Structure 1
Amino acid sequence: AVQEDEPLFELRTIEGGVNSGRLYVLLAETMEDCEAWVADLKHTVKEAIRVQADQTLFREWQQYVRNIYTSTPCQVLVAILIFGNFAANATQFQLVPKEGSSEETLFFIIDLIFSVLFTLELAVNLFAHWLTPFISDGWNVFDFIVVLVSDIAYAVPELPGVNVLRLVRAFRVLRLFGRLKELRGIINALTASLIPVFNALMIVLLVTAIYAILGVLSWKDRSEVRFGTFSAAMYTMFQVITMEGWSSEIARPMFDPSVGPLDTGVAVYFASFVVIVGWILLP
């Protein structure tokens, strides 16, 4: 409000706002300055109201689209599309249609349709969760990368290494884990266990390396093929870890009289490794 006889104007704030409805009285040098200030403030208020209205309308539409996108029927539909695309890819690589045949053209069209649908689905997801909620979800980022790479492979077919980009199609089915809550929980649990599992594998690797060194030092003369070098011994011990024919193919031949006198250390060597790694560390 402008005072008629002085270059003063009052600035009233909103009750419950940041300034708690306080009243500010401002003094200008002249009446012209006072009127200019008031005009600028009124214009700023109108612009702020317009921007707020636009933002409110955008948020309302965004919330409406988000409710539809996150609904169970929509997520089930997306999951069906992902599984359908995987089934189509599996069928294509089972039949392996000849280049230039009608079957190859059919599978190309089918995959192109799925790519368009997945691109539209990604666009809807981006609009519904723009921006921080989208990028804060690792599954959304994974979806974005897979769809983007697939679209690049179609948009620029002459791009060097485009065949490598097309391999990403095989990973589309992994997007299914982000749609089904039960599968997503399993994947999240597996991800959380990566560091403990990695630590355990490092211990197994260290123990295996120690036994490989002992094997080269002790049994090189008995089995040059399996314990002649460190790398050969590591591969031999890896076969022992898998329990695949280690006794009949690796351990027992080393008891053969043709390779040397009987050495009970061979039995202790393999038995202790199986107990430590196979029974204690790996389970």
Structure 2
Amino acid sequence: AVTQAEGPAVAVPPPPQIDPVKAAADAEAEALKLAQLEFLKKMNVVRRWCVKISTHEDFEFVVFVLIFANIVTLAMYNPLKSDSSRYNFVLDRIQLGFNAFFTLELILRAVASGGPKAYLSNAWNIFDLLMVLAGYTEFLPASWFGNNTQSVKALRALRALRPLRTITRFDSLRAIVVCFLEALPLLSSAVLLLLIFIFLFGVAGIQLFQDAAHQTCCNNVDGSYPDPALTENSDEWGCGHRHCPSNYTCTTFSDVVLTDGIGFNNIAAAMVSVIQILTYAAWSYMMYRFTDTYGIYAIIYSVLCIIIGCYFVVNLFIAVLKIKFAKAQTLFHSKLAKMSKKKRKNILGRGLDMGMVRPEDGDEMAPLKQFIFDQRWLVRQLVEDNRFNQAFLGITILNTFFLALSYDGMSNALAETLTISNYIFTGLFTMEMILKLFALGFFEYVADSFNIFDGVVVVLSIVEIILDVLKVSSKGFAGIRVLRAFRVLRLFKVFKYIKSLRKITEVLLASAASFLAIASLILLFMIVFAIIGLHVYGGTQQSDEYPNFSTFLLSVTTMFQVLTLENYDNVQFQLADDTNFGALIFILAWVVFGYYVLLVLFMAIILEAFESKYDKGTIQDAYLA
């Protein structure tokens, strides 16, 4: 028997002691974890509903309609009434309701995106958030701004930026904005050069003409300005280099005495004056006015500013903006094309030719159909013949000549002759339309946009003749004048018959979507600036003097006037006199952004369209020839 040696006893560890406090904490943590999981499950359901609602096409339509309604209510503001009036108070409450809905929309989209962090990762969503927050600025106490009415109005006018939310709703508008933003880094050098030029000439203007805007001739007796009979404007008489008239003395005033400018008192005023010269706004007036004080130096300064600034620096900026934007637009569209190429099938070359084809000999056809077809074939050969087109080109030019013969006070014989000629020309163009409809058929006829244009002009001409025969114009119907004015549209038929003009028109029509997008963007920003002007500067000028911001229509008209640079300097200086220096910034901001950015982008789109379509078509035509 084998006896096993007894080894040392192995100690068995006692069972672990359960800490009741720790166990309770663990149980609470587990319960919290389960509650969080349950909450996340519920949030997923909520998120699914938010995604379903925020992406539904009906919801998008409602948002768009409310944005448009918001624009309308902003435009209905009456600056001639106090903000506490019942009319403006109701509009303000409606604005608050719109902002509440847009806040709800923002929350829905944020939840659908997965939370604030995911939502704000998109720059367009940040833009929407800022527009919504701008709607709550009216709740900021006026005491924060020192009870300054203009400051409060300017801050609350940020609500006018809400119409810009429409940019996020249309891909065509977003494409233009994205292309412009992508081109901005490439424009930095041109912008820097322009700013340096404005600053340098501003500093030079301060050194040369700092007190020129304060000197004028005054009457020795009563201190008045020269007699307006001596000059168109009483303060045209600068002095220093130029001698004052008899009984007048050259006097220096503390205020600026200029009809159209603010002088070179400081760097801000000097830069505004340089920009005024660069935009050709009354630059000759400033040159001659300062010549009265400092002689030929003012002429040299102004001429150099025009030559270097306008003809070189500004045009360089415009050229760079056009080129860089066109390049960015081309790259953007090429990216879109590559993205969509994977999702679309190439169907080029698979279309059916729906044109009229001459049947081969031996093909059987009913006698009546054969007769009609033969007649259509003959008429088609006629209307497609080059001599037919040349004949109607001559008729169109002759019609234009007869339209130009009309004048106020013409004899009855000439009026009768022009009336009869109108009947004849209308009959000829009607015959042309009928022949083409018969030869081509309705659907092939309307497939050509030129034919649609011809048809509309012919119908309007026939309606005008009917109303004229019925003597409707003698019954006070002013619309007959409008219909008569449409006769001039016949001249555009020339575009149809001259190949080069037709090609230009086809390029413009092919790029109509891009033109419409940039035109909509210009109109949108014009409305935004008009609403800001209405809310901030409305009622600060006489409502019976133009231009002013008393109504939305007048605000839009004023902004359009400024966009064309027509007398914009008078608008800004008069507005600054009635309010404050901020009016200069407001008007100049629209001049720079509207004229030198948006209109340049419009030109860039035209150039890109002709480079990509017109030149390509011309090369193909030359190759085929």
CA distance in 1, matches of 2:466, 2:576: 64
Correspondence 1:66-215 to 2 at 5 A: 66-91=380-405, 93-94=406-407, 96-98=409-411, 101-154=412-465, 157-158=469-470, 160=472, 163=480, 165-215=483-533
Q: C-alpha deviations, 1:137-190, integer Å up to 9, x for none?
A: 232233234334434544671174693554443322223323333222322332
1:52 aligned residue: 366
Q: C-alpha deviations, 1:70-111, integer Å up to 9, x for none?
A: 1212101111101111111111x136533xx22223223322
Instruction: Confirm or deny: 8 A CA contact 2:576 2:582 kept in the other structure.
Output: no
Q: C-alpha deviations, 1:31-64, integer Å up to 9, x for none?
A: xxxxxxxxxxxxxxxxx95x53443343333223
The worse-fitting range, judged by mean Cα deviation, of 273-282 and 157-166 is 157-166
Report the TM-score when normalising by structure 1: 0.65
SS at match of 1:111: helix
SS at match of 1:97: coil
CA distance in 2, matches of 1:84, 1:207: 43
- In the alignment of these two chains, the number of paired residues is 227
Distance 1:150 1:217, change over 3 A: closer
Distance 1:231 1:88, change over 3 A: closer
1:279 aligns with 2:596: yes
1:265 pairs with one of 572, 582, 588: 582
Equivalent AA in structure 2 for residue 109 of structure 1: I
Equivalent AA in structure 2 for residue 198 of structure 1: L
CA distance in 2, matches of 1:154, 1:208: 40
2:619 aligned residue: none
SS at match of 1:244: coil
CA distance in 1, matches of 2:531, 2:465: 51
SS at match of 1:74: helix
CA distance in 2, matches of 1:228, 1:110: 48
Which sections of structure 2, spanning at least 5 residues, go unmatched?
A: 1-362, 601-625
Shift, 1:241, TM fit: 1.1
SS at match of 1:189: helix
Distance 1:79 1:252, change over 3 A: same
Correspondence 1:16-27 to 2 at 5 A: none
The worse-fitting range, judged by mean Cα deviation, of 56-65 and 67-76 is 56-65
Equivalent AA in structure 2 for residue 250 of structure 1: V
Distance 1:189 1:216, change over 3 A: same
Cα root mean square deviation, aligned: 3.3
